[in-house]
Amino acid sequence: MARNDGIDRTSARNVDVPDKDIDNTQKHNEREKDSYRNPDIIPERLSYNVHFKNPAASYTELFAQMESSGMISTRGLKPDAIHYGELIFDVNSAYFHNHGGYEFAKQFYAEAYQAAVKIVGGEQYILSAVMHADEINRAMSEALGQDVYHYHLHVVYVPVVEKQILWSKRCKDKALVGTVKETIMQVSRSKKWLSKPALDETGNPVLQKNGKPVLKKSYSILQDDFYQHMRAAGYTDVERGERGSTEEHLTVTQFKVAQEQQRLEDVTAQIAQTEQALDTAQAAVEKKQKELQSLQRQTKEQRTAALTVQEIRSMGKKTITGNITLTPSECSTLKDYAVNGILAKAENSRLEDSLQQAQKSAAVWKQRYEKIYDKYQELKKEVQPYLDAVKLVPEKVRAFLDAILPRTRQTRQHDQPSRRKSQDMEL
């Protein structure tokens, strides 16, 4: 349903909730957790969430009360039967943002809740209905320069169907055998969501070549029922979610992909530049180390070839006045060794200084690289679900990105001066 074509589309999904997951569903919907893995949940906005039906007890306790009162029946169910369902109603974030945001969303989902009551079969089978208004759409917020929230409705319910219990042959009154003994509301996920025959324009069943009716999937019927209810309620500026689509949330997801992928590319470019600088610094260190090693080898060779201390001390002859006289050859040899020693010492000191500077530079670049790389890993982990979405629908997302990225950059360039001006005025 996410095609970046400017059309706002409704989305209605039914999710089976196994007994082992119902507690976690309650903690998420009722915001009972201390922390959330979803970084888009803003704890400071919990008070903005709206309950159209507030649970008076836990979901499991409410289910037990309904069963004990005879409102529902689990007679004949298998141990692994599904006892709970969840309806999730949604429209893309831009729809609510363009219509005024929070107050409009409350009105829209108040009507959506009435659609849920009809779909479920009665308000008495609904355990909880809450509109979440505390999840921010970061990508749109960054692009528009203001907070944009993603409003959606969670409805947890018990799936039931009406079932007639007939008198059996063991009934003493044979006249009653086969007649209705009682009518119960049977908990049954499979019967609640049976596929129905598709009808043509005249209301007749659509048949296959073999004469069997074409079945319309129950989730497609759910989409139809929600869409038709909202249109009848006056929300005529929304369209039905695409048939056969599993991309209920891709309107928002693709927008996030566009933004996060751009951020990922920027960080990747920074890492590439830092890696290049680090390689350059490391190359300089290696060069200086090689020069120093070469000089040290030369010094060693010179020392090996040089005269020993005893040989140097034996040069010259002591005169009567106590002075030492050297032959021209001895004097020239000592001068050469002295000059070479001083030069070697000076060059050795210079190379050691250069090596230390190169090592410091390499350490700085390494630290910068590690910092940016950590940021890259965090960002990559954060946008992994959106990158997975790209893998699922590459053609649609690629077309979306080609369309939205140039506009996003233009919007940022256009909004930048005005935003800076408004900040100056506030100051």
**8 A C-beta contact, residue 149 and residue 103:** no
Per DSSP, the residues of 190-252 read HHHT--EE-B-TTSPBPB-TTSPBPEEPHHHHHHHHHHHHHHHTT-TT-BPPPTT---TTHHH
Model confidence at 359, in pLDDT bands (50, 70, 90)?
confident
CA distance 83 to 64: 11
Report pLDDT for 424.
44
C-alpha to C-alpha distances, 196 to 86, 240, 311, nearest whole angstrom: 21, 19, 112
CA distance 264 to 270: 10
Q: 166-180, 201-215, 397-411: which has the highest mean pLDDT?
A: 166-180
Residue 140 makes CB contacts below 8 A (sequence gap 6+) with 93, 94, 97, 148, 252, 255
Looking at the predicted structure, is the pLDDT value of residue 310 above 60? no
Mean pLDDT score across all residues of the chain? 78
The tokens describing 6, both together, are 């400017």
Kindly report the CATH number that applies to the domain delimited by 10-245: 3.30.930.30
C-alpha distance across the termini of the chain, in Å: 43
Residue type, 51: H
**8 A C-beta contact, residue 69 and residue 158:** no
CA distance 389 to 397: 8
Q: What does the H/E/C string look like for 10-52?
A: EEEEEEEECHHHHHHHHHHHCCCCCCCCCCCECHHHHHHCEEE
Report pLDDT for 208.
77
Report pLDDT for 272.
66
For residues 229-257, average pLDDT:
66
- 343-356 tens-digit pLDDT: 777 777 777 777 77
**8 A C-beta contact, residue 243 and residue 224:** no
The tokens describing 32, both together, are 């009972």
Model confidence at 246, in pLDDT bands (50, 70, 90)?
very low
Looking at the predicted structure, is the pLDDT value of residue 30 above 90? yes
* Cα 295 from chain centre: 56
Least confident piece of the model among 213-227, 357-371, 400-414: 400-414
Half-sphere exposure of 7 (CA within 13 A, CB side): 13
Token match 């369902």: residue?
A: 85
Q: If we measure between CA atoms, which residue out of 124, 195, 186, 185 comes closest to residue 157?
A: 124
Model confidence at 41, in pLDDT bands (50, 70, 90)?
very high
**8 A C-beta contact, residue 382 and residue 138:** no
**3-class SS of residue 152:** strand
Looking at the predicted structure, is the pLDDT value of residue 241 above 90? no
Residue 333 makes CB contacts below 8 A (sequence gap 6+) with 307, 315
Report pLDDT for 11.
87
Report pLDDT for 265.
61
- 113-128 tens-digit pLDDT: 999 999 999 999 999 9
Q: What is the largest CA-CA distance in the chain?
A: 156
Give CA torsion, residues 197, 203, 209, 212, to 10 deg: 40
Looking at the predicted structure, is the pLDDT value of residue 183 above 60? yes
Domain ranges of the chain: 10-245, 262-426
* Cα 423 from chain centre: 30
